[in-house]
Amino acid sequence: MTDYPLPTEAEMTTLERTLGEDKIVDALLSENASDETSQPIAVRRLYAQAVGEGAMTANEFAMALAASPPRRVAFQRMLRTLAAYHFPAVRAAGTAWAPHREIAGCHIDLGEDDGQLFVIIALPSGAVAPPKTLTVIDEAGNGRRVALPEALRGVIHFPIVEDEELVTLLRNPESEVFLA
Res 68 pLDDT > 90: no
For 4-49, what is each residue's pLDDT tens digit? 777 788 777 776 666 666 666 666 666 555 554 444 566 677 777 7
Q: Which residue, 57, 82, 107, sits at the end of a domain?
A: 82
For 92-137, what is each residue's pLDDT tens digit? 555 567 788 998 889 999 988 888 999 999 999 877 788 989 999 8
Q: Give pTM, 2 decimals.
A: 0.71
Q: Which residue, 56, 82, 108, sits at the end of a domain?
A: 82
Same domain, 90 and 175: yes
For 72-86, what is each residue's pLDDT tens digit? 887 888 888 888 899
Instruction: Let me know if residue 1 belongs to a domain.
Output: no
Instruction: Let me know if residue 160 belongs to a domain.
Output: yes
Same domain, 95 and 163: yes
Same domain, 74 and 92: no
Same domain, 151 and 114: yes
Same domain, 21 and 101: no
pLDDT of residue 2: 64
- The contacts of residue 64 (CB under 8 Å, 6+ apart) are 38, 41, 56, 71
Instruction: Let me know if residue 153 belongs to a domain.
Output: yes
- d(C-alpha 96, C-alpha 61), whole Å: 31
Range of the domain at 95: 85-179
First-to-last CA distance in the chain? 52
pLDDT of residue 149: 95
Q: How many domains does the chain have?
A: 2
Same domain, 78 and 93: no
Same domain, 142 and 155: yes
Instruction: Let me know if residue 131 belongs to a domain.
Output: yes
Instruction: Let me know if residue 93 belongs to a domain.
Output: yes
Is residue 151 packed enough to be buried (19+ CB in 10 Å), middle (13-18) or exposed (0-12)? middle
Same domain, 74 and 96: no
Same domain, 76 and 144: no
Res 158 pLDDT > 90: yes
Same domain, 61 and 100: no
pLDDT of residue 6: 76
Instruction: Let me know if residue 2 belongs to a domain.
Output: no
Q: Which residue, 82, 102, 129, sits at the end of a domain?
A: 82
Same domain, 97 and 49: no
Instruction: Let me know if residue 4 belongs to a domain.
Output: no
Cα–Cα distances in Å, from 50 out to 83, 91, 153, 166?
Answer: 7, 25, 25, 18
Same domain, 129 and 76: no
